């Protein structure tokens, strides 16, 4: 099956839609309730209140499809692999369906869109004379993700680190990125003050706590976490193979993906991160790095076997046929 995604062909790319539908089949048969997510991201409350769960399940499929294509765009435009392909989007779609808890249209899933767009913009600042637009938009997307998910505010430090790695930063460029982050926050506060005299609701949502295991973690969640950490450990051990014979830009971007994995840890200081869906942010770098490793090692058969096993477990887990 993976061979269908080894080339960047439009028709094969469309196969991602039925692929995602199969992996999220239970969300159509038994649409999840969204009442528990009201208040998690106040900006999105209107979406959960006024839309039927089935429609949200359909929207989730197309959102993942769009995100997968953005990831493929990031990979192919930056030439992270030896040839253009859509394999990273496939692995991303697989990871976004890994656990039964992932079958909801969670605010973190929506915010992932802006994280991917942020990464695309950051990749555009490398060796650019005046990266004004890219820096501003990278900060802007980071600000938008914060409006949806408060603990993503920590990604401001990720942007600073990315800029330091990809170019020689100066004060003007630093301010451009900062203004980009603050712009959507300022706009929201302005609109809120105009409507209800309370523009700081989002700031009140930030609650810190000691990192701990989410109370609603079940055995299936532990299985998913274990799988993700095994993959991360394997990627760390093979980072030399991933970077081998890559351009300087590709090596720097792969390093940034590893750093993005690390940033998921301090995010757990925020109360909003103590949910299984926090693992969504890990799927972005893992899918890209794993694709790079597949191309670097050329172990397509092994990747095919692992992909098939993961697909089977996803389907069995979501219908409670295991555990």
Given a cut of 50, is residue 46 above it in pLDDT?
yes
- The DSSP element (H or E) to which 19 belongs, if any, is helix 16-23
Phi, psi at 130, each rounded to 5°: -130, 90
CA distance linking residue 4 with residue 99, whole number of Å: 25
Return the structure tokens found at 141: 């997307």
The pLDDT of residue 191 is: 60
In 10 A of CB 168, how many CB atoms?
A: 7
Given a cut of 80, is residue 261 above it in pLDDT?
yes
Instruction: Give the gyration radius of the chain's Cα atoms.
Output: 19
CA distance linking residue 125 with residue 9, whole number of Å: 28
Using DSSP's 3-state secondary structure scheme, residue 257 falls into: helix
The pLDDT of residue 199 is: 47
Q: Please work out, in degrees rounded to the nearest 5, the angle formed at the alpha carbon of residue 148 by the alpha carbons of 22 and 202.
A: 155
What range defines the domain where residue 261 resides? 2-318
pLDDT tens-digit map of 294-321: 998 888 888 899 889 888 888 887 776 6
In 10 A of CB 290, how many CB atoms?
A: 23
Residue 323 lies in a domain: no
In 10 A of CB 95, how many CB atoms?
A: 25
pLDDT tens-digit map of 111-162: 999 999 999 999 998 887 778 888 889 999 998 888 888 888 889 899 989 9
pLDDT tens-digit map of 78-95: 999 988 899 999 999 999
pLDDT tens-digit map of 204-248: 556 666 666 666 667 777 777 888 889 999 999 999 899 888 889
Over residues 42-54, mean pLDDT: 85
Residue 124 lies in a domain: yes
pLDDT tens-digit map of 169-206: 777 777 777 888 888 877 776 665 545 544 455 555 56
Given a cut of 90, is residue 48 above it in pLDDT?
no
pTM of this structure: 0.91
- Is the Cβ–Cβ distance between 104 and 60 less than 8 Å? yes
Given a cut of 50, is residue 265 above it in pLDDT?
yes
CA distance linking residue 59 with residue 11, whole number of Å: 21
The pLDDT of residue 197 is: 46
Task: Kindly give, in sequence order, each residue whose CB lies less than 8 Å from that of residue 57, ignoring residues fewer than 6 positions away.
Answer: 24, 27, 28, 31, 32, 103, 105
Number of structural domains (the chain) is 1
pLDDT class for 56, splitting at 50, 70, 90?
Answer: very high
- The DSSP element (H or E) to which 61 belongs, if any, is helix 53-77
Over residues 287-292, mean pLDDT: 94
The pLDDT of residue 163 is: 87
């Amino acid at each position: 099956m993976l061979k269908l995604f080894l080339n960047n062909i439009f028709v094969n790319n469309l196969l991602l839609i039925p692929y995602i539908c199969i992996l999220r089949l239970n969300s159509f048969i038994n649409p999840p309730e969204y009442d528990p997510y009201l208040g998690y991201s106040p900006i999105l409350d209107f979406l959960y209140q006024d839309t039927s769960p089935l429609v949200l399940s359909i929207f989730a499929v197309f959102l993942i499809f769009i995100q997968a294509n953005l990831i493929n765009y990031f990979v192919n435009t930056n030439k992270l692999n030896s040839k253009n392909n859509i394999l990273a989007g496939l692995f991303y779609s697989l990871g976004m369906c890994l656990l039964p808890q992932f079958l909801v249209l969670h605010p973190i899933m929506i915010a992932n869109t802006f994280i991917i767009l942020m990464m695309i913009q950051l990749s555009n600042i490398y060796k650019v004379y005046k990266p004004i637009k890219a820096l501003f938009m990278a900060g802007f997307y980071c600000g938008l993700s914060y409006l949806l998910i408060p603990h993503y505010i920590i990604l401001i430090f990720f942007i600073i680190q990315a800029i330091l790695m990809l170019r020689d930063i100066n004060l003007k460029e630093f301010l451009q990125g900062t203004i980009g982050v603050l712009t959507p926050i300022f706009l929201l506060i302005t609109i809120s003050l105009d409507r209800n005299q309370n523009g700081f609701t989002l700031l009140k949502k930030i609650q810190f706590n000691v990192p701990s295991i989410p109370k609603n973690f079940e055995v299936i969640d532990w299985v998913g976490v274990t799988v993700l950490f095994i993959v991360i450990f394997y990627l760390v051990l093979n980072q030399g193979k991933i970077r081998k014979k890559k351009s300087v830009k590709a090596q720097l971007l792969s390093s940034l993906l590893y750093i993005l994995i690390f940033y998921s840890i301090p995010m757990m200081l925020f109360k909003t991160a103590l949910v299984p869906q926090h693992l969504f942010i890990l799927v972005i770098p893992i899918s890209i790095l794993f694709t790079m490793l597949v191309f670097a090692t050329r172990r397509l058969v092994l990747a095919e076997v692992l992909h098939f096993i993961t697909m089977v477990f996803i389907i069995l887990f979501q219908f409670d046929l295991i555990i």
